Amino acid sequence: MYKLIDAFPKQLKEALEIGRKAQLRSPEGPYTNVVVTGLGGSGIGGRIAAQLVQKEAKCPIEVYNNYYLPGYVGPKSLVIACSYSGNTEETLAAMEQAISKGARVCVITSGGAMLETARTKGLDHVVIPGGNPPRTMLAYSLVQQFHLLHHFDIIGDGFEGAIKSAAGMLEDQRTQIQAAARGLTENLLGKRLVIYSEANTEAVSIRFRQQVNENSKELCWHHAIPEMNHNELVGWAGGSDDIAVVLFRHKEDHERSQVRMAINKEVFARHTPHIFEVWSKGDTAYARQLYLIHLGDWVSYFWAEKKGVDPTEIAVINMLKGKLAEVK
């Protein structure tokens, strides 16, 4: 796991090359909507991508983490099905629905039944390196989302330079990022983690939560501001000092959201002293979000290391899949 997290910047660069070399059919279109279907480490890339391009995208982009697709999916829809293994049953079911509805379907996978179906039915597909835990291959699946959105004229090509530059920044700041992650980890040990960010970057909080769940073997939760201020903030009446709060911050957060965060910190402080702000770094939105993703991945690894647990072990998920396979 250490080597895979450390390789994230290199993976971003390799993913750009994979996307450039992908053989895709004519984009046709235009498309009235984009739906990304995928779960866990395979699906989070779509959510991150959708948020990063929301101001640029020429049509709505939604992410579905389930067996089904929304009713509006049809011939003018672009559906991106992402399953690292190629065998995720929910994503396979959603992909079949997309095909039956006449949508333009694209696949991001390393193999499995999904790649076989894509080749058999002539679907556009991008093959990424296999053989590793899906959550460690985010760079590959995430970057392909941008390549596909660009190919189908949903976004421009600015992502390429931004990601390449971000990868270089992450490599240059490797020592500082690891040091920051180790320091944050020490403050989280023995605490129940709560993650907050502005809604614009909620996907990064989701990624951090997922990594803490799977790598660190810890329960935690996240929420986004300002929505959190209309419900969960009241729940802090039941807060306690065994809770640690991490706030992912961006200088570009809406000015009113920044005011809200300052007030929120006052509420949290009535119940816990463990409040930590993590500010993003980088010259672009891509860089800033990739910075926080990488730092959060390191925290999840160091937390597992401190606890003495195996960050790669997911026996309970494998058990679930085994039991599901028994039910026809």
The helix/strand count (H/E) of the chain reads as 13, 9
CATH code at 174-307: 3.40.50.10490
CATH of 2-164, one of 1.10.3720.10, 3.20.20.70, 3.40.50.10490, 3.40.640.10: 3.40.50.10490
Q: What is the pLDDT of residue 10?
A: 98
What residues contact residue 1 under an 8 Å CB cut-off, 6+ apart? 133, 136, 215, 301, 304, 311, 312
What value does the mean pLDDT of the chain take? 97
CA distance 29 to 139: 27
Q: What is the pLDDT of residue 29?
A: 87
Please write the tens of the pLDDT for every residue from 50-68: 999 999 999 999 999 999 9
Q: What's the Cα-to-Cα distance from 259 to each of 74, 106, 254, 272, 278, rounded to whole Å? A: 42, 41, 9, 20, 16
Which residues are catalytically annotated? Answer: 214, 230, 321
Residue with tokens 């809406």: 254
The pLDDT profile of the chain, 328 residues, written as one tens digit per residue, is 999 999 999 999 999 999 999 999 999 989 999 999 999 999 999 999 999 999 999 999 999 999 999 999 999 999 999 999 999 999 999 999 999 999 999 999 999 999 999 999 999 999 999 999 999 999 999 999 999 999 999 999 999 999 999 999 999 999 999 999 999 999 999 999 999 999 999 999 999 999 999 999 999 999 999 999 999 999 999 999 999 999 999 999 999 999 999 999 999 999 999 999 999 999 999 999 999 999 999 999 999 999 999 999 999 999 999 999 999 7
Amino acid identity, residue 143? V
Residue with tokens 């809604």: 199
Please write the tens of the pLDDT for every residue from 167-222: 999 999 999 999 999 999 999 999 999 999 999 999 999 999 999 999 999 999 99
CA distance 39 to 89: 10
Count Cα neighbours of 49 within 13 Å in the Cβ-side half-sphere: 34
Is 221 strand, coil or helix?
A: strand
CA distance 291 to 267: 28
174-307 matches 2-164 in CATH topology:
yes
Q: Can you give the residue ranges of every domain in the chain?
A: 2-164, 174-307
